[in-house]
Amino acid sequence: MKKIALIICSFFAITYFSACSNNDAAKVDLTEFNKYVDSVDNLKPVYTVANWTEIEQGYAAKENKVEKEVSKLDEADKAALAESKKQYEALKAKYETGIKEANDPEVIANKSRMELRNKLLGEGNPGPNNDWSFVTKDNVVTTYKNFVDRVRDNGDNYSDADWVETRSLWKALNDRKDAINKDISTLDKITIDHLKVAFLAVKAVNKPVSQLK
């Protein structure tokens, strides 16, 4: 009897420790799954099909491991799994939108246009409502100088669309200068006149004569 009892106890011990081991493995898989989703969430997004395909493959592999052992998870773990899946679906929607926009010609053009504006006039200028009040008598010279310097440094790399935008901004800057002209000192006016000549010279070098109007 003692021998039979010992065998039975050994059987239950082996079964118990095996179950614990399986549960531990399932929790490890869940932890790796949760960490993967968090790591993707913390990455700086790169909105390309190739990058998202790689992310999806990593996700699928870890999800499959968890799903095979999901019956061994307790309710709290299952809730954590559901939360990570929900987090991933939100990430997927964000990447799908980002990839679509990254390949939309209109979005690309607007982004390029805003980048050019920021370089020529400073971040966020002239603003969404085309408000040029940021140019004052105190910064009008530095605004002109930055504009001309940027065009001088980068104008040979401008596309036709860049030049169209540059000329439009230049005209608007001159209109703003005229609006506050009475407040600008004589010395600053002379400096601005020299910068205008410099801009025309840069434009003449980088664009054909027929496109200077």
pLDDT for the residue 139: 97
Q: Is the dihedral of CA 9, 11, 14, 16 positive or negative?
A: negative
Find the helix or strand (DSSP H, E) in which 152 lies: helix 140-154
**Model confidence pLDDT, tens digit, residues 149-174:** 999 999 999 999 999 999 999 999 99
Closest CA to 77 of 62, 67, 88: 67
Mean pLDDT value across residues 126-142: 93
pLDDT digits (tens, 9 = 90+) for 5-56: 444 444 444 444 444 455 678 888 889 999 999 999 999 999 999 999 999 9
Q: What is the pLDDT of residue 48?
A: 92
Structural Rg of the chain based on CA atoms: 32
Give residue limits of the domains in the chain: 2-102, 106-211
Q: What is the mean pLDDT of the chain?
A: 86
User: How far is residue 183's CA from residue 131's CA, in Å, rounded to a whole number?
Assistant: 19
Give the residue among 176, 167, 169 at the shortest CA–CA distance from 141: 176
Give the 3-state secondary structure of residue 210: helix
Proportion of the chain above pLDDT 70, given as a percent: 86
Closest CA to 178 of 196, 203, 200, 164: 196
Neighbours of 172 (CB within 10 A): 15
- Residues with Cβ < 8 Å from 182, sequence gap 6 or more? none
